[in-house]
Structure 1
Amino acid sequence: MPGTASAHRDARPGTATGVVADPVELSADGARIGLSPLGAYATGVFDESAAEIVAYHARSERLFSVNAQAGEVTVLDVARPSSPRKLFALQTTGVRAADGSTIPAGAVANSVAVRPDGLVVVAVEAPDKVSDGWLAVFDAAGDGGALGAWRVGALPDMVTVTPDGRAAVVANEGEPADDFSVDPEGTVSVVDLPRRFTGRHAGAVSQRAVRTATFHAFEGARLPDGVRVFGPDVAGPDGSLAHRVSRNLEPEYVTVSKDSRTAYVALQEANAVAEIDLRRARTTDLWSLGSKDHSAGGQGIDPSDKDGGAAVRELPVRGLYMPDGLASYTSRGRTYLVTANEGDAREWGGYAEPARVKDLGDDGLAPVCEDSPAAGLLGDADLGRLNVSTASGLSADGSCYSELYAMGGRSFSIWTTDGDLVFDSGDTFERVTAEALGDAFNTNHTETKLDGRSDDKGPEPESVAVGEVAGRTYAFVGLERASGVVVFDVTTPQRSQFVTYVSNRDYSVSVEDAIDDGADPATALGTAGDLGPEGLTFVPASDSPTHRPLLAVASEVSGTTTLFQVDRLTGGR
């Protein structure tokens, strides 16, 4: 069980900004590392995705934080991590692309990645999101002027640069239009980057550098078992109903193997992972992640917001992993994938995948099968309030739900690159946050409310970063709803262990309530701290301005970008 070991804190340079008076901290006995919030940059924008994805460039000591609300990337000077300072923003509007198009007003920056030599790539979605987007290029040490752009697929939602720096890999999510009138294909773009970058230009930015991996090879009967393709069949932007599988699969996140040859792509709603051969820009494999059994020991959940508090227990429900964030690392020469099992439902136009368990059997939905183990647990304090998928779990004849499938695993997992599960954190996130947060257990991020998210996805693990400290490998997992970061030692994947949970949030401040009562959003946010961690990046000691490892966290609800110092603890084993 977690203990309460406190971390040794070194003096912070200057006066820390954006750090709450009493950060929440719960560590395992004998923890080797801890996290100390050093400072934050705040946009003052509440619940508008003003800080989403964050990347770091060591030579310029700059952080790049995606402000989707403003459609730009905020550039921060973090030479003094206690006082991040905005320099300017990278603007993509008006940038001329290699295919002759121009990025228009209303386009939205979604993701950013930086190569060590300072080449910055920014994924930009079209204003209508179902049209093809762009990948814009900047100089990390420059003044914000764009160096060019490439056209990529629909809704480029995440971009990463391969370890060898030769390519950018872009997950083109291809979400449907909000009214479900059009559904573009999901694809993965592989963009060959210029080998040499002087900081003044990126060489000839040619559209020939862009290659696209599709999912056409898995259409129809060739779709592997368990990969979820469901819901209305909606035509693509060209009006065609061809390639239903490709229109249904929505790439969410990308990680690349150490040798830069293979990309692994999370397909969240499909509960699947795809493998991409980067040399050929071809999808070579696709597999389902399956589900976890919440009735098994150590895999419990709190399924109800009406049970009076933290009540984590084993119940006859299965959890679809449905990861958002995805990372990779090597252990003893073998590559492993790390997933943050957030969960996400398809809800577009008049189609909504989720329903509460107690509503199954109403409004045309099939009921829970009478012989199901869940049949006697349909009250509000048990499974009745839990939101589950209506697209999974039906009996063979479709007359009733023989199994219930919740969205997300409320955990993080480690997998082989063949799709075999090596480790899952089980119910650790809910048990740790129950101990650490008390009356803020399973709270929402816009307000503080006990048990508020238990009927949905609990603490909602959103993103994950992996880094090495003193010869050991750690996974840092951001909890979107509960807020804060959970750290596990994953040096030996099969024996991964909880290390610490830290949250730079004042749970006594309910920002949504304060705003409803007339408070200025920026004022309320100034005391609340970080709400809704969305993107994490690990900065090794060799690249850090403090010469100690750092963790940068972008929180979309509070619009803050916060730097944590990774402390080595003298009491560690």
Structure 2
Amino acid sequence: MKKLSISLLAAFFIMASCNNDENSNNEPEVTVSENPATFKEIGSITIGGEAAAEISAYCEKTKRLFTVNNSGVNQIDVIDITDPTKPMKIGKIDLSTYEGAANSVSAFDGKLAVALESTTNKQANGKVAVFNTSDYSLIKQVTVGALPDMVTFSPDGKYIITANEGEPNTDYSQDPNGTISIIETSTYTVTTLDFASFASQAAALAKDGFRISKFAKSFAQDIEPEYITISDDSKTAWVTLQENNGVAKVDLTSKTITAIYPLGLKDYNTAENAIDISDSDDKIAFNPWKVKGLFMPDAISHFSANNVPYFVTANEGDAREYTAYTDVKRMKSLKLDATVFPDATNMKLDANYGRLNLVADMGDTDGDGDLDEMVSFGARSFSIWNGNTGKIVYDSKNDLDKKSNELGLYDDKRSDDKGSEPEAVYVAKMGTQNILFVGLERSDAFLTYDVTNPNSPQYLQTVKTGDAPEGLLFIPASKSPTKRSLLVVSSEGDGTVKIYQPDLK
């Protein structure tokens, strides 16, 4: 859900290169041998305050970053990284004349696509504006669905895809369908897809953990697409439906949504999933709790292993908070089933479950008005899923929170909410390895894992970032200005763009 708060805004992490999709990893083999466990900061630039550095894209032709800046302005800042140790702001693209505010950017072959939500009516259709990366001139504007929250080029450059979140207004008098728009770059013809055809499957999807709000006017209106990743052959897209706890699969050739994958729930009442659920217990302690979590992913990336496609999700979690309807409540304000929870009074203490934010309209499994189970937002992890079946292959359990805490980066003030809050994920090819980067909004860090074996990822490194990283952008050595791999982290909390590089082996 798009919020201009340190919810990394929600984050997420968007990655792009001028000659490739921001979530593709079919780059030419890197000729330099690098150690993916040794990323270090080599350059930094501050372009404003909060919301100044949300998402960045990279153009190989111009050696420039294009970074969304919503810190009291409405523009794309242009940063020269010919020398990545000395990034320099050299210009801007003023968006004030386009009646839209930027949420996302992507670049391909000298073109920059910008996703713009309407500034006159957020529930109206948005647009994609395409600019030339050399002189910033406008190439084309096209209309897409309401609130385009993410935009990306396909790896072959034939398509621009947007995830159109379609959020309601505060009183729910307007609630547009959530949609996915597919733009053919040869003609700029737009096909916008909604989810109405899946309404008949609502009950079956719900049994497997897919969530439709009880306040929703219709199935299609309640769907909220968030983030996109596209297969290396540009034929398949996977799109997170964050608030709905699902992922949609899209056939780009036929321009159809072929499946919705419900993501189910995570059980925190196990030793390996142990978490801290209180911000008022004066300690950081990871314990099993009788709580479940909806995965509710924000960012998504993909890779292949042994000819099997996989997608990876950042399981951030997100609530709906509107004047007419809010789906988040503190546990202590809710009624518990006395049989299931005989110790309810003690459980409601702030040092126990009392402060934990729960999904207010879930958990009453027998319909008698009290909670039979507790369901929270997010899974505090990253997960790897089979791209053909949507079945889970691996979950990082409580590793993100524990690794953050080991380095003194875990923010206990977020224990009652979503912990370290994984916002972004990106899988990059480095030599023969598939390397996963995971951005943590509340711990202000990214973690790296070797996911070459998707069943058994290996932790490599934790690296400090700016405040509330929103976008991760991997630049492969083959496209880098220095012919060395670079990771660019855009942090909206403090408006910094930082550049990281690994050591040579």
Q: Is the shorter-chain TM-score for this pair beyond 0.5, marking a shared fold?
A: yes
Separation in structure 1 between the aligned mates of residue 221 and residue 448 of structure 2, nearest angstrom: 36
Contact 1:317 1:374 in 2 (8 A): no
Following superposition, the deviation at residue 220 of structure 1 comes to 4.3
Separation in structure 2 between the aligned mates of residue 562 and residue 231 of structure 1, nearest angstrom: 42
Alignment-derived partner of residue 42 in structure 2? 38
Higher mean C-alpha deviation, range 219-228 or range 343-352: 219-228
Alignment-derived partner of residue 548 in structure 1? 484
State the AA in 2 paired with 1:35.
Answer: F
- What SS does the aligned partner of 2:168 have? coil
Following superposition, the deviation at residue 32 of structure 1 comes to 5.3
Distance 1:350 1:61, change over 3 A: same
- What SS does the aligned partner of 2:249 have? strand
Q: TM-score when scaled to structure 1?
A: 0.78
Number of equivalences: 464
1:167 aligns with 2:159: yes
* Structure 1 unaligned spans of 5+: 1-30, 95-102, 195-204, 235-243, 362-366, 443-450, 505-529
Alignment of 1:396-415 (within 5 A): 396-415=366-385
1:213 aligns with 2:213: no
Following superposition, the deviation at residue 406 of structure 1 comes to 1.0
* Structure 2 unaligned spans of 5+: 1-34
Alignment of 1:9-20 (within 5 A): none
1:252 to 213, 221, 226: 226
Distance 1:352 1:286, change over 3 A: same
1:436 aligns with 2:407: yes
Alignment-derived partner of residue 134 in structure 1? 127
Separation in structure 1 between the aligned mates of residue 375 and residue 125 of structure 2, nearest angstrom: 34
Alignment of 1:221-260 (within 5 A): 221-222=201-202, 224-225=205-206, 226-234=209-217, 244-260=218-234
Contact 1:91 1:144 in 2 (8 A): no
Alignment-derived partner of residue 521 in structure 1? none
Alignment-derived partner of residue 519 in structure 1? none
Separation in structure 1 between the aligned mates of residue 422 and residue 470 of structure 2, nearest angstrom: 9
Following superposition, the deviation at residue 227 of structure 1 comes to 1.7
Separation in structure 2 between the aligned mates of residue 191 and residue 356 of structure 1, nearest angstrom: 42
Separation in structure 2 between the aligned mates of residue 400 and residue 256 of structure 1, nearest angstrom: 42
Following superposition, the deviation at residue 93 of structure 1 comes to 3.8
- Counting aligned pairs with the same residue, the percent is 39
Alignment-derived partner of residue 21 in structure 1? none
- What SS does the aligned partner of 2:413 have? coil
State the AA in 2 paired with 1:217.
Answer: S
More strand by percentage: 2
Following superposition, the deviation at residue 463 of structure 1 comes to 0.7
Contact 1:33 1:499 in 2 (8 A): yes
Separation in structure 2 between the aligned mates of residue 501 and residue 325 of structure 1, nearest angstrom: 19
Alignment-derived partner of residue 557 in structure 1? 493
Alignment-derived partner of residue 143 in structure 2? 151
- What SS does the aligned partner of 2:213 have? coil
Alignment-derived partner of residue 355 in structure 2? 385
Contact 1:91 1:146 in 2 (8 A): no
Alignment-derived partner of residue 520 in structure 1? none
State the AA in 2 paired with 1:325.
Answer: A
Separation in structure 2 between the aligned mates of residue 369 and residue 498 of structure 1, nearest angstrom: 42
Distance 1:557 1:32, change over 3 A: closer
Is the radius of gyration larger for structure 1 or structure 2? 1
Alignment-derived partner of residue 103 in structure 2? 110
Separation in structure 1 between the aligned mates of residue 247 and residue 198 of structure 2, nearest angstrom: 13
Following superposition, the deviation at residue 232 of structure 1 comes to 2.2
Alignment-derived partner of residue 67 in structure 1? 69
1:456 aligns with 2:459: no
- What SS does the aligned partner of 1:174 have? coil
Contact 1:340 1:477 in 2 (8 A): yes
Separation in structure 1 between the aligned mates of residue 295 and residue 70 of structure 2, nearest angstrom: 26
Greater relative CO, 1 or 2 (CA 8 Å, sep 6+): 2
String of CA shifts for 1:455-481, please: whole Å, max 9, x gaps.
111110001111122321111111001
Separation in structure 2 between the aligned mates of residue 62 and residue 368 of structure 1, nearest angstrom: 58
Q: CA RMSD in A?
A: 1.7
Alignment-derived partner of residue 420 in structure 1? 391
1:263 aligns with 2:237: yes
State the AA in 2 paired with 1:371.
Answer: V
Following superposition, the deviation at residue 262 of structure 1 comes to 1.2
Q: TM-score when scaled to structure 2?
A: 0.89
Separation in structure 1 between the aligned mates of residue 223 and residue 423 of structure 2, nearest angstrom: 19
